[in-house]
Amino acid sequence: MPKILKGKPLPHVVLVDTNILWYKDKGPAVNPEFDTFWTEHQKLVDLELIIPEAVRDELLFQQSTSCLKSVDKVVEQFVEISSITNVSHAYTADRQQVIAEIRKKIDGWIKSKAAKIHATPLSSINWLALYNAAIWRLPPFTPDAKNPDNEKGFRDALICETVAHYVANETRQVNLAFVCNDFLLRTTTAKRLHADKRFAVYESLADFSSYIKLTREKLNNAFIARIVKRAQEKFFKKGDTTCLWYRENIWPATLKQYSTSLQPDEAYPQFQVEQATLPLSSLAGMQPTTASPLFAFGTSLNWTPNGSQIYVSRPEFLRIEGERTYHWKVPFYNVALYSRSSEQKLLITTFDAFWHALVKNDARFYDVKLEEIKLASKVFRSVTPEDVQRYGAYLQIQQGIATK
C-alpha cells in the first residue's frame, strides 16, 4: 500500500497536563523546556495551546504556596531581629496581593503563547459517575500511596472532564493532542476518547515532537500510526529474537559500556558486585514482558539494592535521510531501588539507542541497523508517591517503604 501524501499538515491543538508545565524553580511561569519546545515546533506546524482551567489554577496554587512560605520565613526573621535588638521591626505582605501578582505572571505567559483557558465544564459533568469513581477508586482515582484508606485523583478527574469536553465541542478538522506524563490520567483519557480519530495522547514533549516531525514529512495519520507501531516492534517485541533489543544484545552491551553509571553516586570502598535476574517491561504498557540478561549492581554497608526494572519507551522519530531511511531514537531506563535503614532511593539511569531502517511504502521495515547507545541521564533520589504508583508493583515499594 503506498503512503498517502497530503498538503500542509493540519493544525495541532495541544492540551497539556500540569506536569508538562511544572518547574521546580518557581521564577519562570512554566518549565523553560516547554517554551523551547513551543518556539521550535511552531516553526514546523501550526500549534494552538489549550490549558485546562484546573491546570492553570494548580500552577497558581503551587507557585503561590511556595512564595507564601518564603513570606512566612521573612516574617519570622523580622521577629528574631526584633528580639535581638529589643526594637520592634516588622514586615508585612498582602497575601492576596502576592497571589494576584503570581496570577498576573502566569496569565501573561498564557497571553504570550496566544493560549486559551478551557473552563472546567461544571454544569455538564456527570457528578454521580464521578462520585462512584471516587468511592471505588476507579481511574483516574487511585488509593493514596501514603495512606491507602484515602483516595487521590480529583484534580486529575477534572482535567479529564475538561479535555473530553473540549474534544467533544471542537468541530474543526484538526489534530488533537493531550500531553500528559501521568500514566493513569493519560490512559484514562485515551480510553474515554478512543473513538475520536483526531485525538491522541503523548507521554512527553519528546513523544509529541516525534509525531510532529512525521507530519512534516507529509504522511497521513494512519501511515504515521503504522510506522510508529512497526518501529516500536522492530526495536523491542517480547519473544521476538529478530528485534534489535535481542538481536544486538542491547542490555548486555549497555552493561559492558556503562557499568559504572549503573551504580549509585554514593559508592563506598566496600562496594561489591552481585548478580540478579531482572524483569523487563515496556514503559508504554507498564507490564512485565520477559527476564533481562544478568544485571551487575553494587551493594555497600550504606545502600542495599532491592531490585531493578528496565523500561523501554516508545521510539522517537528523528529525520528521514534520502527517500526512505528513517532515523529513530528509543530511550530506555533502568530503575533500581536502594534502601538504607528506613530510607529508600531510586537510581534511574536513562539511555538512548539510535538506529535506522529503510521504510517501504507499505510501512514495512528493512535493513534495520543499530547505530549507537548513549547515556542520557542519571539520578539518585528519594522515592516519591508518583514512583510508588508507577514502579511499586514491580519494585515491591509499598507506601513509600522498600519491601525486602
pLDDT digits (tens, 9 = 90+) for 187-244: 999 999 999 999 999 999 998 998 998 888 877 777 888 899 899 999 999 889 999 9
Amino acid at 89: H
pLDDT of residue 267 exceeding 60, the answer is no
Average pLDDT, rounded, for the chain? 85
Q: Are 234 and 248 in contact (CB under 8 A)?
A: no
DSSP code per residue over 357-383: EEE-TTS-EEEEEEEEEEEEEEEEEE-
The answer to pTM > 0.75 is no
Closest listed residue to residue 228, CA positions, set 205, 194, 190, 202? 202
- Cα 247 to Cα 240: distance, rounded to the nearest angstrom: 9
Looking at the predicted structure, is the pLDDT value of residue 323 above 90? no
**Which positions ≥6 away from 226 have C-beta within 8 Å?**
363
More confident residue, 268 or 232: 232
Q: Give a three-class secondary structure readout of 231-300.
A: HHHHHCCCCCCCCHHHHCCHHHHHHHHCHHHHCCCCCCCCCEEEEECCEEEECCCCEEEEECCCEEEEEC
Cell 473552563 locates to: 119
Q: Is the peptide bond before 140 cis (omega within 30 degrees of 0)?
A: yes
Once rounded to an integer, what is the mean pLDDT over residues 328-356? 92
CA 212 to chain centre: 18
Residues making up the chain, counted from first to last: 404
Share of the chain above pLDDT 70, in %: 85
pLDDT tens profile 126-175: 999 999 999 998 999 987 666 666 668 999 999 999 999 999 999 999 99
Integer CA distances (angstroms), 178 to 130, 163, 182, 190, 312, in order: 21, 8, 11, 9, 21
- From residue 90, give the alpha-carbon distance in Å to each of 83, 84, 223: 11, 13, 66
Q: Are 332 and 355 in contact (CB under 8 A)?
A: no
The residue ranges of every structural domain in the chain are 12-219, 238-402
Predicted local distance difference test score (pLDDT) of residue 394: 74
